[in-house]
Structure 1
């Protein structure tokens, strides 16, 4: 294995994998961790799942969080071995094509890419109400969409100035978010508890929404909690901008996931124990239990500062997530296997993937039209979660099949051997379960009297993206282009004789 402790070695390794260094390699491990931490984001995660989790399963919903965290640790084990060997932007696409061939890799990359872009839509839309709250204004559906579009545009501009500026903004955001989250959580837990820990064994009647089944309610909470622990793969998106990526990106993923996991679990427990009336949350009478708990404990003066912290967390998440989406598009487009690749693969003078930034902003922004219908945005949230777990499953499955075939033996810095195979099996089982669990149509996760497509949103949205990808695969045959560039039929160990990105760029 080559020494990748300096930029020249990093560039040489990238060239050996088939590409030339086009993005600026300036991130250390802390910078890479910040990207993953910002996208997973404890503030965004808690606000996205706390109210819904409590509504469907009562206070005992918090046990879904450590369960999902353990499941995601299985996925990180697989990702760590893969990115250690192939530290490339656009991980699911790049790994899939090397493990099971170009067609499988391209389709996995297609699904993952749209999941990330629509995830950006969701984050921007959920951030918009906090802008209104900051100024004490009352939002309208059209106003929320307009503010969300402005957030996406601001994030694009920050990203366009390059990875160094992006790192500064994201690091500032997560510093404020992390300190505030940890301090607020600890203070609530230590000094403002309204209830004892036995509260976490109660449902407070939440199972009534699931036909009286506490198990069904808890499974719904597990599906919701899945949103809280996605985004660690943003560390992979910036692999080509990270020094010694083969070693540092796997470490960064672990630090991002585990640190956010600890903060989310801490704050979920603290909010539940400090909330004056958890039964009101279960009954759907309090749609913002986090703010209620904080203001009840600290007083009305804390309202505005807390809004600033939450909004900062959302903006940091949106910036890092949009940056990851742009780099994924860049990875596909430089191989000429994404629509309008010639434009999407462009890199500006600051070595930022400007083509991917523009494309991801347009796609994420167009999906905000759903926000004009207050119930339809829920479809986007459900789809975003399901579509993210599907690539987790596809990558884990591809790695396991390649291991069992003997066509892939991990050869990066991380080699888990037989233990890796066992953990890989568990990762496939976990991600398959969660894909089914998230896609399962549940009226309990939809607003009252929601249209049928809201209930079936996860399955329908995933089906549309998969179907569109399959049609593109059949008509445009991007996998043929990849097979020609590689000079083989696909496989784990083969490497192209010339840089793939250069070959793709040379074609008309």
Structure 2
């Protein structure tokens, strides 16, 4: 019998060029909880239900299975990558091994700003629910200040390390999952007021917006993709997950499937239990989810429902903020992000405090946009486009590397000969969704919205891309990356630092 020593997670990390600095204490359930919280069925449904129904009536729900299937293709590609290179900052780390330093840096830059601005949006959208607990109507400055408060509270929890974060997030998603499934089933079984034929009825929404049935459905798919992003938060905590090469791919798959099932259930339930979906199409009901719940359960349910939504937004923000911090940490420890020596620091709780502070500052810096509601709408549109663009770039990089023979999946997860066709489909899906989201549509903007909100996806991604390209040309961070040991090229000031 051969006594072959088993490689530990720290050994695997060292083989990839890094020291174990973060606390590795998450099991597969803890990793799933991070992905579930960021994808968040309640947050996702609230982001898309009103727009989806207004654009395509009851038939909008069919966009959700399409988006879920497309995102499962992306998870397939991500699984092969995460199992071979289980590193925080996956988009950056993987693309540098697939396509080289410059491409990797731009991919990581785009992904980071997408996540940080998404955190801005989540914090801002959570603020009104705080005032709803007290029946108060906030002013725009009050919403912004409350959003800052949410952001700082979540920062404090994140600063105490992965174990406290896991505890808060797990409690949040437990409450959200039970409430979501319970409310969805109750609406469907006991408070349904329409037949299932409503799910095939556009309620003349395309005609009302001057669009065709096909174009309206494509617009809903563009919006629906927002409900199924965030599973890559499982990758962000890869260096804190035990047996990450096996468990992270599993966690991504289960997080997306579980959230997808709950989102589809609740979308169908809300549509069928809504007393008058035509009001949503007409634009007189801007909150169909709350309308369906309070109509079915009665007015007494309003406050408990507000609590569930508030908890869901808070758990989503905590987990997403933690993912953003770990992505910045991954870039900064290679010295390729501005102020890298400070951003790459960890504290005595083994939390990436430098990345956490940087992510919080950038997210909060965008919150004053909330003083103008149309600007926040632009931020949401940009965030969706900027999230799908790194998906697309990474899937393209993986496919090109496969076809060139420079990458053959060698991790715990490999789809063999099926990997290439799956990768092709993932490229087609993400490419379609990037073009679909960036296509300027007045129908997805509020009535009378300024031109820049209609073009927000293209403008936002363009600005971030140009800024990243300028930094790349001036500072040349790609020179610090080498094809060999990722740790090479780091200066002494970027050595492991603990506060």
Category of TM-score, reference length = shorter chain: over 0.9
Q: CA RMSD in A?
A: 1.6
- Number of equivalent positions: 494
- Paired residue secondary structure (2:481): helix
Report Cα offsets for 1:102-131 as digits up to 9, x if no partner.
111111000000000000001001101100
Question: Equivalent residue for 1:95?
Answer: 94
Displacement of 1:210 in angstroms is: 3.9
Q: Give the distance between the partners of 2:356 and 2:253, measured in 1 at CA.
A: 27
2: CA distance between counterparts of 1:5 and 1:33?
29
User: Does 1:192 pair with 2:191?
Assistant: yes
Task: Map 1:172-191; keep pairs closer than 5 Å.
Answer: 172-191=171-190
- Deviation of the 1:10 alpha carbon: 0.4
Shift of 1:500: 6.6
Aligned to 2:253: 254
2:17 match: secondary structure: coil
Q: Offset of 1:503 from its aligned partner?
A: 6.6
Aligned residue in 1 for 2:8:
9
DSSP 3-state at the match of 1:35? helix
Structure 2 counterparts to residues 214-233 of structure 1, below 5 A: 214-233=213-232
* 1:459 aligned onto 2:458: yes
Task: Tell me by how many angstroms 1:499 deviates.
Answer: 6.1
Counterpart CA distance in 1 for 2:474 and 2:366 is: 25
1:500 and 1:134 map into 2 onto residues whose CA distance is 53
Residue aligning to 2:104: 105
Contact 2:116–2:363 (8 Å) recurs in 1: yes
SS in 2 for 1:339: coil
* Residue pairs, 1:399-414, within 5 angstroms: 399-414=398-413
1:375, distance to aligned residue in structure 2 (A): 1.1
- The equivalent residue for 1:263 is 262
User: Which residue number corresponds to residue 294 of structure 1?
Assistant: 293
Change (3 A) 1:435 1:75: same
Q: Deviation per CA, 1:308-348: give whole Å up to 9, x if none.
A: 00000000000000000000000000000000001100100
Q: 1:128 to 1:172 in 2, by over 3 A?
A: same
CA distance in 1, matches of 2:5, 2:350: 21
Using the size of structure 1 for normalisation, the TM-score is: 0.95
Q: Would the alpha carbon gap of residues 203 and 4 (structure 1) be closer, same or farther in structure 2, given more than 3 Å must change?
A: farther
For residues 12 and 400 of structure 1, the distance between their equivalents in structure 2, rounded to whole angstroms, comes to 29
CA distance in 1, matches of 2:493, 2:218: 45
Q: Could you list the runs of 4 or more consecutive aligned residues of structure 1 that deviate by over 4 angstroms after TM superposition?
A: 3-6, 498-504
Structure 1 residue 209 displacement after superposition = 4.4
Give the deviation of 1:67 after TM superposition: 0.2
SS at match of 1:89: coil
Shift of 1:205: 1.5
- Partner in structure 1 of residue 154 of structure 2: 155
Instruction: Please list the CA deviations of residues 64-99 of structure 1 after superposition, one character each: whole Å capped at 9, or x if unmatched.
Output: 000000000000000000000000000000000000
CA positional deviation for 1:434: 0.1
- Name the structure 1 match of 2:326: 327
- Contact 2:192-2:269 within 8 A present in 1 as well: yes
Q: 1:454 to 1:409 in 2, by over 3 A?
A: same
Would you say the 8 A contact 2:341–2:493 is kept in 1?
Answer: no
Distance in 1 separating the partners of 2:277 and 2:55: 13
Gaps of 5+ in 2: none
C-alpha spacing 1:120/1:74, structure 2 compared with 1 (3 Å): same
Output the CA distance in 2 between the equivalents of 1:377 and 1:434: 21
Write the distance in 1 (CA, Å) between the matches of 2:301 and 2:495.
58
CA distance in 1: counterparts of 2:430 and 2:186, whole angstroms? 35
Q: Deviations over 1:230-281 (max 9, x none)?
A: 0000000000000000000000000000000000000000000000000001
Q: Report deviation, 1:502.
A: 7.3
Q: 2:494 matched to which residue of 1? A: 505
**TM-score normalized by the length of structure 2:** 0.97
* Distance of 1:20 and 1:5 partners within structure 2: 20
* Secondary structure of 1:375's aligned partner: helix
Q: Determine if contact 1:32/1:238 at 8 Å carries over to the other structure.
A: yes
Matches within 5 A, 1:374-453: 374-453=373-452
CA change 1:71–1:463 in 2 (3 A) is same
Q: 1:57, 1:364 → 2: CA distance?
A: 33
Q: More displaced, 188-197 or 209-218?
A: 209-218
SS of aligned partner of 1:118: helix
Residue 78 of structure 1 pairs with residue 67 of structure 2: no
Counterpart in 2 of 1:486?
Answer: none
Q: For residue 49 of structure 1, what is the aligned residue in structure 2?
A: 48
Q: 1:495 offset after TM fit, Å?
A: 4.1
- Other-structure match for 2:345: 346
Question: Whole-Å Cα distance in 2 between the matches of residues 428 and 185 of structure 1?
Answer: 33
